[in-house]
A = this chain, B = another copy of it.
Amino acid sequence: MKIGAHYLGNGECEFTVWSPTLNSVAVQILQPEQQVQLKPIADGYWQVKVADVYPGTLYRYRLNDQEAFADPASQFQPQGVHGASQVVDHQFQWTDTGWAGVPLESIIFYELHVGTFTPEGTFNAIIPRLPELRELGINAIEIMPIAQFPGDTHIESALAYRNWGYDGVYPFAVQNSYGSPSDLKRFVNACHENGIAVVLDVVYNHFGPEGNYMGQFAPYFTQTYKTPWGNAMNFDDGYSQGVRNYFIQNALYWLGEFHIDGLRLDAIQAIYDLGAKHFLWELAEAVHDFSQGGTWKRHLIAESDLNNPQVIRPPELGGYGIDAQWSDDFHHALHALLTGDRQGYYQDFGKCADLAKAYQDTFVYDWRYAPHRKRFHGMSCSDRPLSQFSVCIQNHDQIGNQMKGERLSERISFAGLKLAAGAVLLSPYLPLLFMGEEYGETAPFMYFVSHSDPDLIEAVRAGRKQEFTAFHYAEDPPDPESAETFLQCKLNWELRHQGQHKVLWDWYRQLIDLRKTHPALQNSDRNSIQAISDEDQQVVIVRRWCESREVIFAMNFNSSPVTVILPIQQSARKLLDSGSQASEYLSVGEEVVLQPTSLVLYEGEV
């Protein structure tokens, strides 16, 4: 049962909608005007085939002979969240036939917000930049959510729509200001032609506050749990099977019709499901079945605040079978050392030992007491390979959740940026870069949003203000509802060729190149890494090895030079040096001077 408007060709379209508690559902075709009743089929689904309906046709569903609403499974909302839905034809000339995907353990993510990555803010505008991203060495673009979100309908331009994407209300509809469904396909096709996978960020834990008419159709929401962002989705109560099916179809829709390579599942800790078979388990089953039936493997990566390995364990070990998950502990441990931040969740970090633990055990909090959370947190994931975790030093949240959306380049020295890049890209985890990070972009990435409902606009402003008042900031945060805030976040792409920015870009490329080619850096066995730390010296040393080779990298977070002896097995050769001061060759027991805020990497035989 394919939900939504399914164009069959020859002017015929099949409409299917899930409304288990309604008495009647009719489809209203806007032009030429006609209304056709859907018939109940099974399990609360309604369906009808209608003739003389061509791609581009606008429609709504009339419920119980009363009000009409856009399709919850709408594939396009050309007039925004309050407008009608549009019938989409999915025919497309794919030219990625040789595409074999990117194996999970090789992925290097590049997170990108379509609206601010280019001046145009469209899928099409990204395409010319792909060769350079390929040259940098990344092999997966992770696009922030593109499900239709609300906009300020008082503005008659693409600027009306300003949203990170987490307020989407039509999970099947490509955001109209970013392009059409075909534009997204063209973009994915071009990525594949450039050897780049596309991972889509999808939000299955809540819906945005404006333009959300789901509740009119079916019991999509539950009252049993609360999310921080709105009503929780109904994954485990009566009628939950329709909700589960809705999101599973959504996942398969992106993978199938758009050749998307993987999904990043937003904040799965807010996907509340206390039934015996968690929704994520069922989702992973469906995606893996789909993947096995196809020509390349698709991936599911969960953003999780739980530090729970159950998310990524296979079902036979009681897990959900998700392929990989984010590990924010790595970010927090590294960020705290680089910036000295100790407020908010950084309170739980700040020691070199934390970063060393993040390298070796992944979770710093593995049922340890976390002062900021005021509770014990996490579990050991020592049975999971290192390649099941993704880490970063910047992403939309870590930048944007600061009051002024300052990137790391505004917070720390150039030497610090190089150190940070090395720490992430030499880690055994799947690294994620945030657009512009590779050349030290100076534009902020602030929290921006636009609504048409004046009360909601005021509530968002007040909420944001309140958030930072709690932290005793003297200033007010930038106005999230202003277009100016959004425009300030657009990348200055030309910077990448200039001065220090270019030096940083080259450093990123060098790191990625080494990561891709050195065998010791490709080993993701849990027992192929060792990390030690020294709080007095503010040093973390990491050793990674494979059968025949090893690399050892030392990171100095001190603002003074420090002297260390690296635990090499045999004499070693320097491959990387962010401070360019250490000797090229090193004998066993020989001292190395680490410059302030620097990283040096040696390699040798085991």
Q: Chain A: residues with CB nearer than 8 A to chain B?
A: 223-226, 236-241, 269, 272, 274-277, 306-310, 313, 317-319, 367, 369, 373-379
Q: Which residue of B lies closest to A369 (CB)?
A: B241
- For A272, what are the chain B residues with a Cβ–Cβ distance below 8 Å? 274
The answer to whether A378 touches B306 (Cβ under 8 A) is no
- For A308, what are the chain B residues with a Cβ–Cβ distance below 8 Å? 275-276
- For A223, what are the chain B residues with a Cβ–Cβ distance below 8 Å? 226
Within the oligomer, what is the number of copies of this chain? 2
Known: A225-B225, A318-B319, A319-B318. A375 touches B277 (CB 8 A): no
| Docked CA distance A240–B375 (Å) | 6
The answer to whether B239 touches A375 (Cβ under 8 A) is yes
Binding site secondary structure of chain A: loop
| Docked CA distance A241–B376 (Å) | 7
Kindly list 15 other residue pairs between chains A and B, CB separation below 8 angstroms, not including A240-B376, A275-B308, A277-B376.
A237-B375, A238-B373, A240-B375, A241-B375, A269-B274, A274-B306, A275-B306, A275-B376, A276-B308, A276-B309, A276-B367, A276-B379, A277-B379, A313-B318, A317-B318
Q: Which residue of B lies closest to A234 (CB)?
A: B375
- For A374, what are the chain B residues with a Cβ–Cβ distance below 8 Å? 238-239
| Docked CA distance A367–B279 (Å) | 12
- For A310, what are the chain B residues with a Cβ–Cβ distance below 8 Å? 276, 318
- For A226, what are the chain B residues with a Cβ–Cβ distance below 8 Å? 223-224
The answer to whether A375 touches B275 (Cβ under 8 A) is yes
The answer to whether B224 touches A276 (Cβ under 8 A) is no
Interface centre among A309, A319, A376, A379 (most CB of B within 10 A): A376
A224: contacting residue among B225, B238, B239, B369, CB under 8 A = B225
Give 19 CB contacts A-B under 8 Å: A223-B226, A225-B225, A236-B375, A237-B375, A239-B374, A240-B375, A240-B376, A241-B375, A241-B376, A269-B274, A275-B375, A276-B307, A276-B309, A276-B367, A276-B379, A277-B367, A277-B376, A317-B318, A318-B318
- For A313, what are the chain B residues with a Cβ–Cβ distance below 8 Å? 318
A306: contacting residue among B276, B306, B318, CB under 8 A = B276
Q: Which residue of B lies closest to A383 (CB)?
A: B316
| Docked CA distance A313–B379 (Å) | 17
How near does chain B come to A325, taking the closest CB pair, in angstroms?
Answer: 12
- For A236, what are the chain B residues with a Cβ–Cβ distance below 8 Å? 375
- For A276, what are the chain B residues with a Cβ–Cβ distance below 8 Å? 306-310, 367, 377-379
- Which 6 residue pairs spanning A and B have beta carbons closest together? A318-B318, A238-B374, A276-B308, A276-B379, A240-B375, A276-B378
The answer to whether B319 touches A275 (Cβ under 8 A) is no
| Docked CA distance A269–B379 (Å) | 22
How near does chain B come to A162, taking the closest CB pair, in angstroms?
Answer: 31
The answer to whether A275 touches B377 (Cβ under 8 A) is yes
| Docked CA distance A375–B218 (Å) | 14
- For A319, what are the chain B residues with a Cβ–Cβ distance below 8 Å? 318
| Docked CA distance A367–B278 (Å) | 11
Q: Which residue of B lies closest to A318 (CB)?
A: B318
Interface centre among A223, A239, A307, A375 (most CB of B within 10 A): A375
How near does chain B come to A18, taking the closest CB pair, in angstroms?
Answer: 13
Q: Which residue of B lies closest to A307 (CB)?
A: B276
| Docked CA distance A417–B276 (Å) | 33
Q: Which residue of B lies closest to A373 (CB)?
A: B238
| Docked CA distance A240–B378 (Å) | 14
- For A367, what are the chain B residues with a Cβ–Cβ distance below 8 Å? 276-277
- For A239, what are the chain B residues with a Cβ–Cβ distance below 8 Å? 374-375
- For A275, what are the chain B residues with a Cβ–Cβ distance below 8 Å? 306, 308, 375-377
| Docked CA distance A241–B308 (Å) | 17
- For A237, what are the chain B residues with a Cβ–Cβ distance below 8 Å? 375
- For A317, what are the chain B residues with a Cβ–Cβ distance below 8 Å? 317-318
- For A306, what are the chain B residues with a Cβ–Cβ distance below 8 Å? 274-276
How near does chain B come to A217, taking the closest CB pair, in angstroms?
Answer: 16
- For A307, what are the chain B residues with a Cβ–Cβ distance below 8 Å? 276
Q: Which residue of B lies closest to A244 (CB)?
A: B376
Interface centre among A224, A240, A275, A373 (most CB of B within 10 A): A275
The answer to whether A238 touches B318 (Cβ under 8 A) is no
| Docked CA distance A504–B157 (Å) | 83
| Docked CA distance A373–B240 (Å) | 10
| Docked CA distance A379–B278 (Å) | 10
The answer to whether A238 touches B274 (Cβ under 8 A) is no
Q: Which residue of B lies closest to A237 (CB)?
A: B375
How near does chain B come to A373, taking the closest CB pair, in angstroms?
Answer: 6
| Docked CA distance A275–B310 (Å) | 11
How near does chain B come to A576, taking the closest CB pair, in angstroms?
Answer: 35
Interface centre among A226, A237, A269, A318 (most CB of B within 10 A): A318
How near does chain B come to A204, taking the closest CB pair, in angstroms?
Answer: 16
How near does chain B come to A344, taking the closest CB pair, in angstroms?
Answer: 14
Q: Which residue of B lies closest to A310 (CB)?
A: B318
